[in-house]
């Protein structure tokens, strides 16, 4: 008899629909307000939700689209810790003990603070104008940018207050390559801060920038090669300073501010210029630059040569590079060159040069052969 009752009970259990045992789910609506009662916006707002005592997030919301926002499909009979972040900084937290299918939670966050940066060279008195200022959180996200004015001052940033563990990082950038990071930067709730940043850069570089001109890897230019001058050109295309090249192939540039420049050598007798060379002056590292004429010229035609070797550009484009090499005195010709007569097999030479199979000299010698034999002229 007992066996029959047990079988009957088990049969009833197995007939119960699986949905009876499914976990009941609920939701939480989260309202986020400032301490003065104003509702916050959703820009830069993210959230992490923790279940019970777990240290890993049960769910993360990478971008909140509106405030208030809903957190759905949460199993009932659990406690949830809800953190909200603004600009990557923890702004507020509250808890929901979810016993019913829906619960409202309000999270109060501190009022934003404002800070303005005043940026100077290393003397602490000379302002840096036209510098780009970026405010980042420790997760490398940028939350504000501004340029400095003639007084080295930015616009005011209104940002989430910091905590003891989370602060801001301020990047000061001059040009494309010169950057200085200033941290930690703290911001109390509701405050307006003035932050003075003194960079390690001098206003004017007090040492000469030595520029050495070389024909190739080991041979400096001499008076026999012509009369040379070297220019420093700023980001606006202005020639800010120049120097004649002496008998040892050296020139000396002075009174430069820190930043990005283009250096360009020019031969005055035959009136031709070398390709420009990018350099960043920081006033800290050693200032000696070597300009290798051959390397600069060949680097300037490499992209065209790659395209031509892959049949992506016409012979006339490649002929333009050959004519440029003539002007730069790496090739010689007394006749007019014809792009239609460049042989297809010379693409092999181009590919070998690009891959490093043949040297720069071999590649140039191959082009000179086409000229000397009258193949292309």
- On whether the CB atoms of residues 120 and 200 are closer than 8 A, the answer is no
CATH class of 22-109: mainly beta
pLDDT recorded at residue 22: 61
Domain 209-293: give its CATH code.
Answer: 2.60.40.1120
- How far is it, in rounded angstroms, from Cα 62 to Cα 320? 53
- On whether the CB atoms of residues 113 and 158 are closer than 8 A, the answer is yes
pLDDT recorded at residue 366: 93
- Which residues are CB-contacts of 303 (< 8 A; sequence separation ≥ 6)? none
- On whether the CB atoms of residues 4 and 79 are closer than 8 A, the answer is no
Please report, for the chain, the start and end positions of each structural domain, with discontinuous segments joined by +. Answer: 22-109, 113-198, 209-293, 314-372
pLDDT recorded at residue 9: 46
Q: What is the CA radius of gyration of the chain?
A: 34
Strand order in the sheet with 113-120: 157-159, 113-120, 192-198
User: For tokens 């996200």, what's the residue?
Assistant: 141
- On whether the CB atoms of residues 50 and 28 are closer than 8 A, the answer is no
pLDDT recorded at residue 376: 87
pLDDT-flagged residues of the chain (< 70): 1-22, 377
pLDDT recorded at residue 19: 46
- How far is it, in rounded angstroms, from Cα 268 to Cα 245? 11
User: For tokens 């000299």, what's the residue?
Assistant: 361
Mean of all residue pLDDT scores within the chain: 90
pLDDT recorded at residue 274: 94
Question: What are the Cα distances from residue 313, in Å, to 267, 287, 306, 309, 323?
Answer: 31, 40, 9, 8, 16
Domains 22-109 and 209-293 share a fold: yes
CATH class of 113-198: mainly beta
- Three-point CA angle 291, 130, 279, nearest 5°: 10
Nearest residue to 126 (alpha-carbon basis) of 279, 280, 281, 257: 257
**0.85 exceeded by pTM:** no
Whole-angstrom distance between the N-terminal and C-terminal Cα of the chain? 114
- Retrieve residue 10's tokens: 């088990």
pLDDT recorded at residue 6: 47
């Amino acid at each position: 008899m007992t066996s029959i009752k047990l079988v009957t009970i088990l049969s009833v259990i197995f007939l119960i629909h699986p949905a009876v045992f499914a976990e009941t789910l609920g939701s939480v609506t989260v309202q986020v307000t400032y301490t003065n009662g104003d509702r916050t916006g959703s820009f830069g707002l993210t959230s992490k939700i923790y279940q019970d005592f777990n240290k890993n997030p049960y769910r993360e919301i990478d971008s909140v689209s509106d405030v208030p926002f809903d957190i759905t499909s949460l199993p009932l009979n659990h406690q949830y810790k809800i953190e909200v972040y603004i600009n990557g900084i923890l702004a507020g937290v509250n808890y929901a003990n979810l016993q019913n299918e829906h619960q409202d939670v309000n999270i109060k966050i501190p009022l934003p603070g404002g800070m303005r940066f005043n940026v100077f060279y290393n003397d602490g008195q000379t302002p840096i104008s036209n510098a780009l200022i970026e405010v980042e959180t420790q997760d490398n996200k940028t939350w504000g940018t501004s340029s400095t004015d003639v007084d080295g001052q930015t616009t005011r940033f209104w940002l989430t207050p910091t905590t003891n563990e989370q602060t801001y990082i301020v990047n000061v950038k001059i040009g494309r390559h010169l950057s200085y990071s200033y941290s930690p930067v703290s911001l109390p709730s509701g405050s307006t801060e003035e932050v003075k940043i003194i960079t390690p850069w001098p206003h004017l570089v007090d040492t000469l920038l030595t520029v050495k001109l070389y024909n190739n890897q080991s041979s400096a230019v001499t008076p026999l090669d012509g009369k040379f001058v070297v220019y420093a050109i700023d980001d606006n295309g202005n020639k800010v300073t120049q120097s004649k090249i002496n008998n040892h192939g050296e020139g000396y540039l002075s009174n430069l501010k820190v930043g990005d420049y283009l250096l360009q050598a020019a031969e005055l007798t035959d009136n031709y210029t070398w390709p420009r060379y990018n350099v960043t002056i920081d006033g800290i590292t050693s200032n000696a630059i070597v300009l290798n004429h051959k390397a600069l010229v060949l680097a300037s035609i490499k992209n065209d040569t790659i395209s031509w070797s892959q049949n992506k550009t016409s012979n006339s484009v490649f002929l333009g590079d050959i004519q440029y090499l003539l002007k730069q005195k790496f090739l010689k010709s007394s006749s007019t060159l014809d792009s239609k007569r460049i042989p297809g097999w010379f693409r092999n030479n181009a590919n070998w040069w690009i891959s490093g199979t043949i040297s720069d000299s071999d590649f140039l010698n191959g082009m000179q052969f086409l000229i000397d034999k009258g193949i292309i002229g």
